[in-house]
Amino acid sequence: MATYIVLLGLPGAGKGTQAALLQEALGLPHVTSGGLFREIAEQDGPLADRVRAILASGDLVPDDITIQIVEARISRDDAANGVILDGFPRTVLQAQALDKLLAERGEAVDIVPFLNLSEQEALARLGGRWVCSKDPSHMYHTRFNPPKTPSVCDIDGAPLFQREDDTPEAHRHRLEVYRENTQPLIDYYRDKGILVEIDAERSIEAIKADLLAATRPYYERG
């Protein structure tokens, strides 16, 4: 039996940070829809142009494209034992598509840790986010988690950069998009009895400990 973990929370809640730690601890791949789109945006062609513009604005990529891309990713061999989903689903339609896809395989989403924090804290985190140019799972924050040398990754020495959608304008828009499209997923998963709320206004280590405690039973079951 495979394990499907969906990390939910505002942009900036720490989903990517925690997914990377969970990947290491549980050995399940971290699947980030935002990361998949950033890879597409670096390519050439009409899809790349369209995705690049959507990402910069903070809008959502249309559901049909998103579902197709995530479905292809979680159908790869390395996802046979399950995945940690970060940033997907972001709409009820995406959540329904995921349920359908997993049901066809005799599987289901097992647990949805909801990283809960205030919009104010989310904005503070997004505003100071720096990402490694070689491995985007290496994440820093100017105040909360600074690299030893400014603008250089502690792990591999590669330069750090700020994402194009990490601007105050895009942040405001992304919070609105979250409220309208993604917030309903809290009830969607709560009604299924698989939502676990985690106070995300704490240290990375404290959140990680709660996440491990919440997810391990599902992983060890497999």
Q: Which stretch binds ligand AMP (CB under 6 A): 26-34, 99-107, 108-116, 154-162?
A: 26-34
CA distance 40 to 105: 27
Identify which of residues 21 and 111 has a Cβ nearer to ligand ADP in the complex: 21
Candidate residues 34, 83, 98, 218; the one interacting with ligand AMP per rule CB under 6 A: 34
Rule CB under 6 A: say whether 175 interacts with ligand AMP. no
Across the chain, where does the E strand assignment appear?
3-9, 30-32, 82-86, 112-116, 129-132, 139-141, 160-161, 195-199
Q: Which does 13 bind (CB under 5 to 8 A by kind): ligand ADP, ligand AMP, none?
A: ligand ADP
First to last CA, the chain: 5
Which positions are annotated as active-site residues? Answer: 15, 90, 129, 163, 174
Structure-block tokens of residue 161: 């950069």
CA distance 90 to 159: 30
Q: Which does 196 bind (CB under 5 to 8 A by kind): ligand ADP, ligand AMP, none?
A: none
Q: Which does 141 bind (CB under 5 to 8 A by kind): ligand ADP, ligand AMP, none?
A: ligand ADP
CA distance 210 to 208: 5
Rule CB under 6 A: say whether 9 interacts with ligand AMP. no
Smallest distance from ligand AMP to CB 170, Å: 8
